[in-house]
């Protein structure tokens, strides 16, 4: 299939091509057009121009467009899921779920609005709080969940009256370009545009004075560059960055029911999810059993191309990440005991068997850093105070989970974890009406929920004297 960029309502072939690799085979399977600086500037100008009309439509007008957009994406679910399976890898059912979440997010936000609010009213004055759109939003995306993560920006930003330029990661451009091609038929020109690049346009979007808001999801290291770039023109920004989420198992947990859920939370998308469980802490007397049950899960997991419904775990998404995880595995072999997994599956794709690791110190690289791959450390703890301290001894603070038979105890411990979201007896539930965001170096700003919409608006106070 031939893909296009979407710029000012036109399907554009760009200035060159980027090879797109299927991580299940390690071979090029397609290519994407790429934009250069001139096309990016054209998109920014078109986005500014479209903003006036889009904002003037009001919530009622924009709602209709967003519902049409969601329905048009839904009608191409199979095509979209197939593209996701090829470019990002993973089970086809998970790819279909990614499309379904994208559609549901757009529908949810299509039905929202931010009403003006009278803050104070008396005989002598009336003070009203309003929200107006910020303008051009640059949505800069990672490769692990290309379109779901985009929909968490697109829905709230568009319904509140902003226009959006999406820049996918260079290794997963196709699903975003497809969303753009669908948008070409349903949205007014310039309201949504797509710019694929070879990792060279992010900085321009981050610094350009006509971009009002940079909504970035990606690594903490790049997030810091975005923050520096946005400073020059005091842009609004959202940073959704890396994590090192804990799963803390309490001594009353029913391991037989809890362990499969923790394994799933750690190995979903081969561990390449910001909110994946990245460290497991178990009471010392339960450590052997926890390791044994997690290892059983790892041994039973079926790895391979997601086109086969029997396969539950897909590949690492790109060669760079594959090599990074392999290097981490080599370091981990010296620092602890890999009980199971950590092996490359021969055959060309970027598959690594899920690994369970024990006997690591808190200083081990796998404990301190975000692995973003299928390798999970399990650590013992002696008392709850110390495990809370160890959970919090991280520069990250994205999510985390507590596993217990006693919900009250779970909430008590959750309330001591320094992160944006803490789940009890579940992991990674992200309802659209609940805001999420990272503490510490996991991010700034919020997505989803009312606050996620507010973050794409400027608050205006209208202060009236009546006397
Ligand atoms: P990355 O930081 O390497 O790239 C993300 C995007 O930034 C890409 O589109 C890239 O082209 C662009 N980019 C590169 N240099 C830039 C610059 N100087 N200015 C602006 N943009 C630039 O991240 P990745 O490897 O694609 O994604 C993995 C990371 O994303 C992990 O750390 C993961 O935890 C994080 N992530 C966070 C969330 C969240 O919601 N908190 C969600 C998914 C992924």
Catalytic residue among 274, 346, 370, 395: 274
The tally of CA atoms less than 13 A away on the side-chain side of residue 176 is: 37
Residue with CA nearest ligand 1 atom 26 = 142
- Each residue's pLDDT expressed in tens, for the chain with a length of 467 residues: 789 999 999 999 999 999 999 999 999 999 999 999 999 999 999 999 999 999 999 999 999 999 999 999 999 999 999 999 999 999 999 999 999 999 999 999 999 999 999 999 999 999 999 999 999 999 999 999 999 999 999 999 999 999 999 999 999 999 999 999 999 999 999 999 999 999 999 999 999 999 999 999 999 999 999 999 999 999 999 999 999 999 999 999 999 999 999 999 999 999 999 999 999 999 999 999 999 999 999 999 999 999 999 999 999 999 999 999 999 999 999 999 999 999 999 999 999 999 999 999 999 999 999 999 999 999 999 999 999 999 999 999 999 999 999 999 999 999 999 999 999 999 999 999 999 999 999 999 999 999 999 999 999 999 999 98
Cα 168 to ligand 1 centroid, rounded to whole Å:
9
CA of 31 to the centre of ligand 1 (A): 21
Nearest CA to ligand 1 atom 43: 274
In angstroms, what is the span from residue 88 Cα to ligand 1's centroid?
Answer: 15
Q: For residues 368 and 254, what is the distance between their CA atoms, to the nearest angstrom?
A: 28
* Burial grade of 93 (CB within 10 A; 0-12, 13-18, 19 or more): middle
H helices of 232-339, in order, are 255-267, 287-300, 319-335
Which ligand 1 atom is nearest residue 222's CA? 2
Contact 225, 204 (CB under 8 A): no
Q: Which of 87, 98, 181, 240 is catalytic?
A: 240
In whole angstroms, give the CA distance from residue 316 to residue 419: 26
Q: Ligand 1 centre from 243 Cα, in Å?
A: 12
Q: State yes or no: is 274 an active-site residue.
A: yes
Fold of 245-424: Aldehyde Dehydrogenase; Chain A, domain 2 (3.40.309)
Q: What is 5-241+442-465's CATH topology?
A: Aldehyde Dehydrogenase; Chain A, domain 1 (3.40.605)
Q: What is the pLDDT of residue 34?
A: 98
Tokens standing for 338? 């890999």
The residue whose C-alpha atom lies closest to atom 16 belonging to ligand 1 is 202
Report the nearest atom of ligand 1 relative to the CA of 242.
34
Query: What's the confidence (pLDDT) of residue 440?
Result: 98
Looking at the CA of residue 218, tell me the nearest atom of ligand 1: 30
Ligand 1 pocket (Cβ < 6 Å) reads: 140-144, 149, 167, 169-170, 199, 202-203, 206, 217-219, 222, 225-226, 240-243, 274, 370, 372, 398, 438, 443
For the chain, domain boundaries: 5-241+442-465, 245-424
Cα separation, 63 vs 107, whole angstroms: 9
CA distances from 101 to 70, 113, 131, 149, 356 (A): 10, 20, 27, 10, 30
> If you take atom 42 of ligand 1, which residue's CA is the nearest one?
274
pLDDT for 2? 82
C-beta of residue 273 within 8 angstroms of C-beta of residue 217: no
* Of 147, 222, 269, best ligand 1 pocket probe by most atoms within 8 Å of the beta carbon: 222
Structure token digits, residue 256 = 């037989």
Active site residue 240: yes
Ligand 1 centroid – CA 140 distance (Å): 7
Rounded to the nearest angstrom, the distance between the alpha carbon of 222 and the centre of ligand 1 is 6
**Nearest alpha carbon, ligand 1 atom 37:** 241
Q: What pTM was estimated for this model as a whole?
A: 0.97
Distance, CA 116 to ligand 1 centroid (Å)?
A: 34
């Amino acid at each position: 299939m031939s893909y296009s960029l979407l710029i000012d309502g036109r399907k554009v072939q760009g200035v060159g091509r980027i090879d797109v690799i299927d991580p299940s085979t390690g071979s090029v399977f397609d290519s994407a057009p790429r934009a250069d600086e001139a096309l990016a500037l054209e998109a920014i100008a078109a986005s500014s121009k479209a903003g006036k009309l889009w904002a003037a439509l009001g919530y009622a007008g924009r709602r209709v467009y967003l519902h049409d957009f969601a329905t048009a994406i839904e009608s191409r679910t199979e095509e979209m899921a197939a593209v996701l399976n090829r470019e990002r890898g993973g089970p086809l059912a998970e790819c279909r779920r990614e499309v379904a979440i994208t559609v549901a997010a757009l529908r949810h936000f299509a039905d929202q609005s931010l009403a003006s609010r009278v803050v104070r009213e008396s005989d002598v004055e009336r003070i009203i709080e309003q929200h107006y759109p910020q303008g051009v939003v640059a949505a800069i995306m990672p490769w692990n969940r290309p379109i779901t993560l985009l929909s968490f920006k697109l829905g709230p930003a568009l319904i509140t009256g902003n226009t959006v330029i999406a820049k996918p990661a260079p290794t997963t451009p196709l699903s975003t370009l497809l969303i753009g091609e669908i948008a070409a038929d349903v949205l007014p020109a310039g309201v949504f545009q797509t710019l694929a690049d070879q990792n060279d346009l992010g900085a321009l979007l981050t610094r350009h004075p006509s971009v009002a808001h940079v909504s970035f999801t990606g690594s903490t290291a790049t997030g810091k560059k975005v923050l520096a770039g946005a400073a020059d023109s005091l842009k609004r920004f959202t940073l959704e960055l890396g994590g090192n989420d804990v799963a803390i198992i309490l001594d009353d947990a029913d391991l037989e029911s809890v362990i499969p859920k923790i394994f799933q939370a750690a190995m979903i998308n081969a561990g390449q999810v910001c909110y994946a469980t990245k460290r497991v802490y178990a009471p010392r007397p339960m450590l052997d059993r926890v390791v044994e049950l997690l290892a059983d899960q790892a041994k039973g997991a079926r790895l391979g191309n997601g086109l086969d419904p029997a396969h539950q775990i897909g590949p690492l998404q790109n060669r760079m990440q594959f090599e990074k995880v392999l290097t981490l595995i080599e370091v981990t072999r010296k620092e602890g005991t890999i009980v199971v997994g950590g092996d490359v599956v021969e055959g060309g794709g970027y598959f690594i068997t899920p690994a369970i690791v024990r006997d690591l110190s808190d200083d081990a690289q796998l404990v301190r850093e975000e692995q973003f791959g299928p390798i999970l450390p399990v650590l013992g703890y002696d008392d709850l105070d110390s495990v809370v301290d160890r959970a919090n001894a991280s520069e990250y603070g994205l999510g985390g989970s507590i596993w217990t038979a006693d919900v009250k105890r779970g909430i008590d411990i959750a309330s001591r974890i320094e992160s944006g979201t803490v789940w009890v007896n579940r992991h990674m539930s992200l309802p659209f009406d609940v805001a999420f965001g990272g503490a510490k170096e996991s991010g700034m700003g919020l997505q989803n929920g009312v606050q996620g919409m507010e973050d794409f608006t400027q608050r205006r106070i209208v202060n009236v004297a009546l006397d």
